[in-house]
Amino acid sequence: MKHNFGAGPCILPQEVFKQASQGVLNFNDTGLSILEISHRAPEFVAVMDEAISLVKELLNVPEGYSVIFLQGGASLQFTMVAMNLLAEGKKASYLDTGVWSKKAVAEAKLFGEVEVVASSKDKNYSYIPKEYQVAADSEYFHFTSNNTIFGTEFHSFPKVNAPLVCDMSSDIFSKEINVADFDLIYAGAQKNIGPAGATLVIVKDSILGKTGRAIPSMLDYQKQIEAESMYNTPPVFSVFVSMLNLRWLKSKGGVAEIGKENIAKAKALYTEIDRNPLFKGSTAVEDRSNMSVCFVMENPELEKPFLKYAEEKGCIGIKGHRSSGGFRASLYNALPITSVHVLVEAMQEFAEKNA
């Protein structure tokens, strides 16, 4: 049996795979595959409507917000956020906590002044800055809630006097959040939502249309909202599987229940990392991610042998990113705690063999 700790595209529930495969063969008894059905067909329009409805229900999205499914991943949102929110001659504030926030900063600079209010680059992004000021005249403040490469996560969100924009790609739906605290949330699908291809955006309607610039239609949030996520052919299969996955999450008891499971999974793994003399955590304890557990070995020479041993036990995808090294175990929603137990046992057995 394989235990998939991959950072993304990530593990999805087996029952979702089975339902999706049936949809590929014969979608809703139409005699057509979901891969060939028209996105304008009533059957798919119902899929899009349900996917959006489930997002609103599971996250308690308040009135005055729009939910849309787009393409281009979170990386395109780095551009779209600034293009839609940052007026010429104005500035935006960003927090630099890793690779993805750094890329977001680079894209935003194409549209106006960007102030990086704080950065954890000085310690290879192993912590989240706590002391910083956001200028009152900032158009918005942008941060990344979970940093998959370096293993840090916000466990409480910033309180600032500016519209709050968050890249929530890797921990959305993993815990309860108050959407009303944010003005815009975006997330690539390929972590806790569904397969790669779709991008979720939740945006407060009142912040749009204020830049004074002409925005290309495909990159204009307002036009995408008006077109109900169908300005052009949407990523049909990704939206379909995302809908199935959100159904699964709802059947599990929703975000509150899955949040408890995710805390238990992370606690089990961090406990072993801290107990086992061969391993050590690579991030500040107070900022440790429940989604992206990063750790190294006290003796780097043992990293390759352990990686091989873990793979022999069925644990795949735990090799750390090239920027941080060591190991990274991604504990997304669909990963059962039994898989974490297998990894913990592998760590214990390896320590016994290499004491």
Which residues form the catalytic set? Answer: 100, 167, 191
Tell me the backbone φ, ψ of residue 304, rounded to 5 degrees.
Answer: -65, -45
Determine the residue type at 257: E
Name the nearest CA neighbour of 57 among 156, 195, 179.
179
3-state helix, strand, coil in the chain (%, to 5): 40, 20, 40
Question: Can you tell me the distance from the alpha carbon of 306 to that of 170, in angstroms, rounded to the nearest whole number?
Answer: 26
| Residue 38 structure tokens | 């028209």
Question: Can you tell me the distance from the alpha carbon of 330 to that of 7, in angstroms, rounded to the nearest whole number?
Answer: 5
Tell me the backbone φ, ψ of residue 264, rounded to 5 degrees.
Answer: -65, -40
Across the beta sheet with 164-167, the strand order is 65-70, 199-204, 184-188, 164-167, 138-144, 91-96, 113-119
Question: Can you tell me the distance from the alpha carbon of 181 to that of 274, in angstroms, rounded to the nearest whole number?
Answer: 34
Helices (H), ranges, the chain: 14-25, 42-59, 73-85, 99-108, 221-226, 236-251, 254-275, 303-312, 337-353
| Residue 268 structure tokens | 């089990």
DSSP string covering 297-325, please? Answer: ESSGGGHHHHHHHHHHTTEES-BPPTTT-
Provide the pairing of β-strand 91-96 with 138-144: parallel
